[in-house]
Structure 1
């Protein structure tokens, strides 16, 4: 925790210095050091179990900053993330939601962790070959939920959702551009927070909170994710201020 905080503080300070002095000798030294710190941050990201594929039974482990939302992983414009190894061929995308515990730690970037309750995207789950898996992924003081979509094929003529907390889907970018294009700009109208019909239809499966075996469950019986209260609007965090729209 202390090492992570010191790394972020130093990187943010040097990045501010670079913006002030530009590509001067001092600025170059600062930005090259920032790159080194970002590499170290990537290496330190823990792998968190977020899903199990309903088709292949493969467990999905995601390099996720689960300490707090002030980490560079959550920078919506320029997230610092590690390549996700071992994804099953059936993986399509992973969205997410976060119930924020206020006050939120300030960071020098915009973070968009999703609405404050779990949801599904009907236009994806209406495809008969797509399934979603819901799990709880705590992020420090905040309660996070990962919603991962799988399919035997990529749905045709349907843009996939961007990966949780970012503005792209790097793995399934339709133009093959890893960081230069957006799959889909999310809108609240795209989301369905009534999970019951999707659970009953077998389109949405779930993993119990804290289950390190990531066992998949079907149906509504004992499902802990039903009727979770929370604001359904998108949440943007700007230097510790929460904006909902």
Structure 2
């Protein structure tokens, strides 16, 4: 049985890992292919590995078909963590349930984001769905709230009862430019293909009432799936209906 990684060990080491890793990364860029430069390179690679190992498993969904909880190794402390480096994210590719297909995301920023020496792309400012993906008859999506430091994030996870539908475009995993998702150890679902051809729909009510879009209430430790638009807290939220500029 898979061991779930908790938040406290990560929180304890995180600040020191980021500070030293960012210092060594900058030093390597300055020194380049020299003895000291390679020493800096190996140093930050080791720190990345430790950060990756400590990333806590966060519940982002529950499969509507199997009722299985879906965990994601995710940095919820703040957006200055290497997980949120859009171009070169430091993440674990843990196996996902066989029904898992996509995970988009959105985030409402509460004040200026913490500075970091890399670009972040956290999605739109309110939740949305990918129209073409959710129109598939065997597809369901689940929205859950994921606080990230002072900011409010939403994971939108897509589950399909059949193998990846032919012709459906994949999308980068939330906060990343990549789709590098393991379906089993050392077996990957796909790599970087068919980007950004699904249209985004911010009008969630019809999807909720149709049963295609389900939701988990904020702070619900049981991660109970709920249906319908009545009492859904993710409707009509204020925020950017389009991607935040990279920061």
Instruction: State whether TM-score is above 0.5.
Output: yes
User: Which residue among 96, 109, 114 is the counterpart of 2:123?
Assistant: 114
Map of 2:4 onto structure 1? none
1:193 maps to 202
Q: Structure 1 residues 166 and 8 mapped into 2: Cα distance closer, same or farther (>3 Å)?
A: same
Q: Deviations over 1:130-157 (max 9, x none)?
A: 0000000000100000000000121211
Normalising by structure 2, report the TM-score.
0.89
2:167 is matched with 157
Question: The residue matched to 1:137 in structure 2 has which SS?
Answer: strand
Separation of aligned partners in 2, 1:42 and 1:80: 6
RMSD: 1.9
Residue of 62, 68, 78 corresponding to 1:52: 62
Q: In structure 1, which of residues 23, 31, 35 is the aligned counterpart of residue 33 of structure 2?
A: 23
Q: Which moved more, 1:227-236 or 1:211-220?
A: 227-236
Q: Could you tell me which of 123, 135, 158 is aligned with 1:126?
A: 135
Aligned to 1:135: 144
Q: For 1:183 and 1:138, how far apart are their aligned partners in 2?
A: 29
User: What is the aligned counterpart of 1:34 among 39, 44, 64?
Assistant: 44
Tell me the matched-pair count: 233
Q: Does 2:195 correspond to 1:184? A: yes
Structure 2 Cα separation of the partners of residues 131 and 164 of structure 1: 17
In the alignment, structure 2 segments of 5+ residues that lack a partner are 1-10
What whole-Å deviation, never above 9, does each CA across 1:2-44 have from its counterpart, x for those lacking one? 6311210111111011011101110011010101100110112
Would you identify which runs of 4 or more consecutive aligned residues in structure 1 move more than 4 Å?
Answer: 176-180
Q: What SS is found at the alignment partner of 1:110?
A: coil
Deviations 1:143-198 (A, max 9, x none): 0000000001212111122110111211389xx988963441378xx211110000
DSSP 3-state at the match of 2:165: coil
Change (3 A) 1:178 1:158: closer
Contact 1:168 1:179 in 2 (8 A): no
The 10-residue stretch of structure 1 (201-210 or 3-12) with the greater mean CA deviation from structure 2: 3-12
Contact preservation (8 Å) 1:75, 1:165: yes
Instruction: Provide the residue aligned with 2:108 in structure 1.
Output: 99
The CA deviation string for residues 86-121 of structure 1, in whole angstroms up to 9 with x for no partner, is: x21110010100001112111011110100000001
Would you say the 8 A contact 2:101–2:160 is kept in 1?
yes
Q: 5+ unaligned residues in a row in structure 1: which ranges?
A: 239-245
State TM-score, norm by structure 1.
0.90
Contact 2:100–2:160 under 8 Å retained in 1: yes
**Alpha carbons 2:75, 2:83 under 8 Å: kept:** yes
Residue by residue over 1:29-73, the C-alpha shift from the partner in whole angstroms, topping out at 9 and shown as x without a partner, is 101010110011011211100000001111001100000000000
**SS of 1:113's equivalent?**
coil
Report the CA distance between 1:83 and its aligned residue. 2.1
Query: Contact 1:52–1:214 at 8 Å: present in 2 too?
Result: yes
Residue 81 (structure 2) pairs with residue 71 (structure 1): yes
